[in-house]
Amino acid sequence: MSAGATARRAAFVAALVVALTVVVAFLTFPVVAIFVRSSPGALLDGLRDPSAQDALRLSLVCTSIAAAIIVVVGTPAAWLLATRRFRGRSVVITLVELPLVMPPAVAGIGLLAAFGPQGIVGRPLGDLGLQPVLTTAGVVTALVFVAAPFYLRQAQAAFEAVDRRWLDASRTLGAGELRTWLRVAIPVARGGLITGLALAWGRALGEFGATLMFAGSFRDITQTAPLAIYERFATDFDGALGLSAVLVSLSAAVLLTVRIVGRGAVVGGVRG
């Protein structure tokens, strides 16, 4: 190899290293700044604030309920999408994935148009006294709407990776379709399902725009942690930092859990 080629190669590698350094620095800097700017004392003070505690509690309750709904309804739906070929399947998949790319403001308007007091579904719901706008149920509705596609997508991919012959083997060994699904398909796809759940949960935890428009920001009723951060960043920056630090820590813990759980999974897990 000539000296020129060696030099070019070294320059290329150096450029790659620089690019990665810039990416890592840019992506981690805001996260690091949250912890650097807020002293541990101020952080704890912020958390002792009852309104912050309310917001965190509400966030955890709403995201958990939303996650439960997403898993219970989304898992069978994803299984159907992954294993059956039917007319209009690709249209269904596109519709299901649409919220992924929808601007939060559009999602909020859409939810209002559908479930609001004058909405298509909202009016009959209101007659039954189940109007979700400006209620905790409204928060959950918004979270499910924006987060479900993350789970569905991942779950569908995980189920598609399940070898058909495992399902066939299960059937010939005396298990019906439901039992095969519960005892083979779900355990085998476990890694992908958990990854999808974590992504959906993370998305729900950070949900801001659609919740604000659809459910409002009322303390202890609809004010989730991101809304509480927004409310206080102009007046109580340290308080906002403290809540942010808690949210970042929660998200990091989820990501880490997924990586650890996913490593032991058979298909569709996060490798690394």
Partner 1 sequence: MTGATPVDQDDRGLSVTARHRLRDVALDVALDVAPGACLALVGPSGAGKSTVLRIVAGLLRPDEGVVRCAGETWVARDRGVAVPPEARSCGYLFQDHALFPHLSAWRNVAYGLRDVPRRERRDLAITTLERFGVGRLADAHPDRLSGGERQRVALARAVVRRPRVLLLDEPLSALDATTRGRATRELADVLREHDVPALLVTHDFVEAATLATTVAIIDRGRIVQRGAATAIAASPATAFIAEMSGAVVLTGTAAPADHGLTRIDLDGGGVLLSTDAGRGPVAVSVHPWEITLHAVDGSGGGGVAGVEGGPGVEGRSGGSVVGDGPGGGGGPAAGSARNALPATVTSLTTVGNRMRVGLLAGQPLTAEVTVDAVGRLGLAVGAPVTAAWKASATRVVSAGDPGVD
Binding partner 1 by CB under 8 A: which of 4, 88, 174, 272? 174
- Residue 173 touching partner 1 (CB under 8 A): yes
Rounded distance, CA 180 to CA 173, Å?
A: 10
Binding partner 1 by CB under 8 A: which of 107, 146, 184, 247? 184
Binding-site string for partner 1 from residue 111 to residue 150, where x marks contact by CB under 8 A and - marks none: ----------------------------------------
Rounded distance, CA 258 to CA 192, Å?
A: 9
- Residue 84 touching partner 1 (CB under 8 A): no
Nearer to partner 1, 10 or 260 (CB): 260
- Residue 182 touching partner 1 (CB under 8 A): no
Nearer to partner 1, 184 or 197 (CB): 184
| Tokens coding 97 | 């994935």
- Residue 166 touching partner 1 (CB under 8 A): yes
The residues that touch partner 1, with contacts defined as CB under 8 A, are: 163, 165-166, 168-176, 183-184, 187-188, 190, 266
